[in-house]
Amino acid sequence: MLGTTKIYGCLADPIDHVKAPSIFTSIFKSKQLDAVMIPIHVNSDDLENVVCSLKLIKNFEGMTITIPHKTDIAKLCDNLEPDAKFTGAVNWIKFDKNRKLIGNNFDGKGFVNGFLSQNHQLSNKIIGLFGSGGAAVAIGCSLAYEGIKELKIVNRDTNKANDLKKRINSFNKQLKITVFSQYDYDINNCDLIINATSLGLKKNDQTPFDVTKTPSKCIIADIIMQPEETKLLVQAKLIGRSIHYGKNMIESQIDLVGDFLNLW
């Protein structure tokens, strides 16, 4: 690194599962950009203080944001791009020339683009979405633009799930959306089921749902990147389900992020 090196961060809690720093630092190197990305481990109580401090570091350009900070960081931004404003969640921020904080969200487009890039289809499909946090909101909203047949939202807090339903129906009134509690759900006719919760990050985590309750042609997707094969995906493979890795979501965001940060 040189004195001219631009610094980017990856903000998370926990931090050991994140792969973005190695992915983006490798991209910077391949494109001969004088930049690096570093992991930043911050808990929720210290989030505001850390962001305020980073504003003072002139060569700190921005960050990718992951669990559990995506909704809280949105409240700290000076300006939000349309996708971040609509979803109320942010997964990338940048500082402008006046050190104002600008937030954006590429999770939804990243998941959709990553899924389609694997020769899968979304049109007219019945999709189960587990979770209603920042990533789930972005993914659910993006799916609603893809001509899907039905969306089933499963979450521990059904109030949050119903909020997501209302958000989606505000721009797609025709889409059938059903909300379930994680203790009582029906996924036996889903074509695709997405784990958009944090379950799977830790070794002792339970799986978010019972894969044996899914139809044989159902695709099981996870947005967790580390471990690459979560307990959910391992169980899905064991009973012959097709699986979709979390890495596809971030890899499909690279060009979007580059444009946002004016990198290339």
Hey, what's the torsion of the CAs at 102, 106, 109, 114, to 10 degrees? Answer: 150
Report the Cα–Cα distance between both ends of the chain, in Å, rounded. 20
Identify whether the C-beta of residue 8 lies closer than 8 Å to the C-beta of residue 58: no
Task: Tell me, yes or no, if 70 is annotated catalytic.
Answer: yes
93, β-bridge pairs: 63, 103
d(CA 127, CA 124): 9
Instruction: Please pick, among 29, 55, 58, 70, the residue that the annotation labels catalytic.
Output: 70
Work out whether the CA dihedral 55, 62, 80, 85 comes out positive or negative. Answer: negative
Calculate Rg over the CA atoms of the chain: 18
Which residues are known catalytic residues? 70
